[in-house]
Amino acid sequence: MKIKNILAAALLVGATFGVSAAEEAKKDTGAIETPAAETLSELLRLVKADKIRQSRVNTSRIEKFRKERNNQRSMLNTAKAEQKREEDRTERLKAQYEANLKKLAELDEAKILKAGALGEMIGVVRQVAGDSAARFQRSVVTAQYPDRHQFLETLAQAKVFPEIPEIRRLWVEIQTEMTEQSKIVKFTTEIVNRDGRKEQRTIDRIGGFNLVSNGEYLVFNSENQDINQLLSQPKGDFVDTIEPYQSTSSGVERLAIDPSRGTILTIEVQRESWPDRVKKYAGVVGAAIGVILAIGLLIVIERLFTLITLRGKMNAQAKSSTPGNNPLGRIMAVYLANKDDDTENLELKLDEAVLKETPRIERGITMIKVFAAVAPLMGLLGTVTGMIETFQSITLYGAGDPKVMAGGISQALMTTVLGIVAALPLILLHSVVSGIAKGLNHMLEEQSTGLIAQHEEEAGA
């Protein structure tokens, strides 16, 4: 009896777990829930019923899988068929493309044969259009008529035969360029100033050579198709002719033009002025030459002022019998102080007085001569140091680039020029000062001799 009770309890527990598992399976599969069993007979019936339902569910799953597998197989067969159709279409298009290429080659050959001399003419048109486009892009006339070259570039690069209107326009553009290059016109447009900003300007175009405005030259930038203001204007008479030219309303006026259409003008802007060259290449030797020239000129100025003043005083003293504070006055004072001495003694004292005055008159003149001789020697020194610098540059960088040697050669030549420039005025001024001093000394000697002769006459009388 106990064994039966234990088995009944075990069956109930198993049924309970079976029902729970079945409930979970029902939740997963969507099956209908069944009531719980209360007796072993009901449990057995429920288990059988659930087995039947589970078998149905599995059968339904198998049928669904088979159906979906058939659908996938159908889709795969459809995709393979589509792939086959596309591959066949690709082969057909490839064959058609090759046939079209062959036909195009035949048509091109036929076109060339039919064109004959016309093909050569079209080649000439394209070549002329390309050359004209490059020329128009750099032309100063394009500053007034921009973007003229774009049509010519398109015509030169076209793959089809040009039409009659295009050929006629090519001829018109070339004729327009020739005509405009012979005209002097005034027009208003935007330019790029030194600050990089655009501003309106009224510009005079001199043929195909120059652009001028407000007393200065402008250049046409062919790359950007802009009119640019130069950072600085060229030196010399180039700029001085612009304002008189622009202010003249009739007649003929002189004006410098650039036949290279801006190239020479751009180079001339970079040309250094003499002050710039002296500042850049003179160096220490050039500065020393400048100091010598300045000191020599100061001495010359002081000597000229002193000697000219003395000459005026001595000329006035020659007309007066009262001794003054000047060399001739002091000699006259010596004469008057020793008037009663004999002629020989008086002559010696007057000679002594003249000798005392001579150094005062000739003071500094020798220094001017020395500076005039030293200046070219210092220029020669600068020449030697500049050539040493040149040879050192050649040793380091070779002689392939002349600009490497330009600095040393410029220094050598600039110091030579400064030495000569300093020596020439000092030599000339030394001659002037020396001549005035000799004249004063001659006047002293002449007056001294005259005083001695006067003393002889008075003694003889």
- Per-domain boundaries in the chain: 2-86, 116-182, 184-271, 280-460
Residue 157's pLDDT band, with cuts at 50, 70 and 90, is confident
Determine the straight-line distance between the first and last CA of the chain, rounded to whole angstroms: 205
d(CA 162, CA 316): 100
pLDDT of amino acid 448: 85
Express as a percent the part of the chain with pLDDT over 90. 12
Q: Which residues contact 28 (CB under 8 A, 6 or more apart)?
A: none
C-alpha radius of gyration, the chain, whole number: 58
Both tokens assigned to 435: 């001549």
Q: What is the mean pLDDT of residues 187-204?
A: 87
Chain-centroid distance, C-alpha 351 = 74
Measured distance CA(263)–CA(114) in Å, rounded? 47
The span from the CA of 310 to the CA of 308, in Å, is 5
Say which residue the tokens 């799953």 belong to: 61
- 190 in helix, strand or coil? strand
Give tens-digit pLDDT for 232-245.
777 767 777 777 78
pLDDT value of residue 300: 93
Give me the chain's average pLDDT, please.
Answer: 80
- Lowest mean pLDDT segment, chosen from 150-159, 206-215, 397-406, 425-434: 397-406
Give the DSSP H or E segment for 188: strand 184-192
Q: What are 44-100's pLDDT values in tens digits?
A: 777 778 778 888 888 888 888 888 888 888 888 888 889 999 999 999 999 999 999
HSE of 259, CA atoms in CB hemisphere, 13 A: 0
Per residue in 96-148, pLDDT tens? 999 999 999 988 887 777 666 666 777 788 888 889 888 888 888 888 888 88
pLDDT higher than threshold 70 for residue 305: yes
| Identity of the amino acid at 63 | E
Residue 329 host element (H or E):
helix 327-337
Helix, strand, coil tally for the chain in percent (to 5): 75, 5, 20
Phi, psi of 179 (to 5 degrees): -70, -45
pLDDT of 135: 86
**pTM of the entire predicted model:** 0.52
Whether pLDDT at 399 is above 80: no
Q: What is the pLDDT of residue 33?
A: 53
Other C-beta atoms within 10 Å of 3: how many?
7
User: What pLDDT shows up at residue 93?
Assistant: 92
Rounded to the nearest 10°, the torsion over CA 206, 242, 217, 138 is 10
Element (H, E) at 204: strand 198-206
Q: Nearest Cα to 440, choosing from 263, 317, 297?
A: 317
Overall residue count recorded for the chain in this entry: 461
Could you report the per-residue pLDDT of 315-355, keeping only the tens digit for each? 888 888 788 888 888 888 888 888 877 878 888 888 888 88
